[in-house]
Amino acid sequence: MTMHSATDGLQGGSSMQASDGTTIALATGMPPGTPLETPLETPLETPLETPAAGKLQALLERCRELVSVRTGVVHPCDRESLSAAVEAARLGLIDPIFVAPRGRLESVAASAHIDISRWPIVETAHSHDSAAQGVALVRAGKAEVLMKGSLHSDELLAELIIRLPAFVRRDG
């Protein structure tokens, strides 16, 4: 995928051209014509190298005293979201229930050398189904919270909005 400077009049944006020739417009908040750096040209910081590292460590220390939260991890079908969920479980923050197509989840886990065998999997057909099944876990009281995986935010939010009345708590 190649990055191009915006010359097509997009206000504060640039475009990317995919290998199939498709051009994708990006809103960047930068003046038109400003070139974007490719991801490989941008150095990555790990959380431990950021100025907030001390605050993060303090928060994690406070959380050690708490009980892990039963969490529906919705469609963690990429290395990053699966790794994040497993790391949160390792730190004792969550007790995950993976909600995803089993074959895809297991393939990602195998390629990332992540053992997910100790946690339950709610098998789904696709990302929309993962969102619906994740919300159903919370509605049934089998999970307390949801963690978004690699599905689009609107897929999960749409399911939550559809089911919102079931989540609204009415006191007195």
Structural domain boundaries of the chain? 66-163
Residue 30 has pLDDT above 80, yes or no: no
Q: What mean pLDDT is predicted for residues 166-171?
A: 59
For 5, residues 6+ apart whose C-beta sits below 8 A from its C-beta are 14, 33, 34, 35, 36
For 29, residues 6+ apart whose C-beta sits below 8 A from its C-beta are 12
**Predicted local confidence at residue 150, as pLDDT:** 97
For domain 66-163, which CATH number applies: 3.40.190.10, 3.40.50.1360, 3.40.50.10950, 3.30.360.10? 3.40.50.10950
Residue 93 has pLDDT above 90, yes or no: yes
**Predicted local confidence at residue 101, as pLDDT:** 98
Average pLDDT, the chain: 77
Copy the structure tokens of residue 91.
Answer: 């730190």
pTM for the structure as a whole: 0.67
**Predicted local confidence at residue 31, as pLDDT:** 44
Return d(Cα 121, Cα 107) in angstroms, integer: 14
Residue 13 has pLDDT above 70, yes or no: no
